[in-house]
Chains A and B, each alone.
Chain A
């Protein structure tokens, strides 16, 4: 059974930083692309970014709203993917989901974690 378990959420002040982790199990972690998607309270889903696999040089893409502030990384030896968030502002308040996508161009997300809440507030 595929499991994606996020951690690291919490309360952070505007301008601060936070690092989210996602521990994966139930599949060969090194194969798929890994995404982060967020959902602000009462709002819809917003894609944050994607990191590809080793065969695709671990390249990453980001949404314009987080480009330059957020960084996605992965450690295949630890079956984990990370989201480093810097220069946070109140609009980044959301539940952040880790997700898995097959390793081909334009693939869609097929599995989701349960999410972790990030609150940016003074």
Chain B
């Protein structure tokens, strides 16, 4: 069964450093998303991406965040200058365009 994959599974970084989180969505999907989950809290929407552009973003997704689909398979989330409060689990999701978004296993980001 096709699945969304994410790398790395864990990332530790120093405050102020740039991080890139990578995702490989399901191959024939057209819609891509990033969500995050701070430990013990609910899953929060960050950004959606379709047709090579951002279709919606939340207030969390400020100028420090960017997304890119550099080739036909990868979808990346970049945090330019990480802050302590960026520590969270980051989930990538993809959808064909219908109802179901399929989530990856997540990247646990720890900012020290």
A and B: partners? no
